[in-house]
Amino acid sequence: MNIRQQMTQFLAMAYVFLSAFVAWKTLGLITNSHSPIVVVLSGSMLPAFDRGDILLLWNRDLRAHVGDIVVYEIANKSIPIVHRVLREHHTPEKQLLLTKGDNNFQDDLPLYAKNQVYLDQKADIVGTAKFFFPKLGYVTILLSENQYFKFGLLFLMGISAIISGEA
């Protein structure tokens, strides 16, 4: 393979990655969320959502309402949590929320940061779930929880590249 073909291949791959990045950032701007799409990782929201469901978030609403399904992040924890708003308190400047998983026995107070009693809508909420796509995110769960699946997929991609002569 000559240098021109290699450069063409490199530019094509760079274009694919750049297009995906621009699409992700554009969706983030439209939804006003740094993470506009999340995958449900646990069964805490059964029967509303199952593991592997993909949620599209919207964060342009000024307030969350009791019954809304929100995604929030706790300081120093990297995994977003998908739960329903159980209670809300607000002043003109601030809204505080208490959440609970539909399939959980108690509210989320033990999940919050130390000495935190409510979630701050502006600081903690990533977005409100507006649409969902069942089971489409299960590949993400398999990749993160099953090292054999991850290595098998990488192996198949490597074999595919070698067979097609693009390695």
- Please name every residue paired with 90 in a beta bridge, in sequence order, or none if there are none: 95
Query: Can you identify the CATH homologous superfamily of domain 34-136?
Result: Umud Fragment, subunit A (2.10.109.10)
Q: How far apart are CA 127 and CA 45, in angstroms?
A: 16
Q: How far apart are CA 14 and CA 9, in angstroms?
A: 9
- CA 151 centroid distance within chain: 23
Question: How many Cβ atoms are within 10 Å of 128's Cβ, its own excluded?
Answer: 22
Residue-level pLDDT at 166 = 55
33, 53, 108, 124: the catalytic one is 108
Which of 116, 49, 105, 114 is CA-nearest to residue 81? Answer: 49
44, 50, 90, 124: the catalytic one is 44
State yes or no: is 50 an active-site residue. Answer: no
Over the stretch 83-132, which tens digit does the pLDDT of each residue have? 999 999 998 899 999 999 999 999 999 999 999 999 999 999 999 999 99
33, 53, 83, 124: the catalytic one is 83
pLDDT band of 30, cuts 50, 70, 90: very high
Q: The tokens of 157 are what?
A: 């991609």
Residue 165 has pLDDT above 70, yes or no: no
State yes or no: is 164 an active-site residue. Answer: no
Over the stretch 42-61, which tens digit does the pLDDT of each residue have? 999 999 999 999 999 999 88
Torsion of CA 40, 43, 46, 50, to 10 degrees: 40
Q: How far apart are CA 10 and CA 16, in angstroms?
A: 10
State yes or no: is 42 an active-site residue. Answer: no
Indicate the domain borders of the chain: 1-31, 34-136
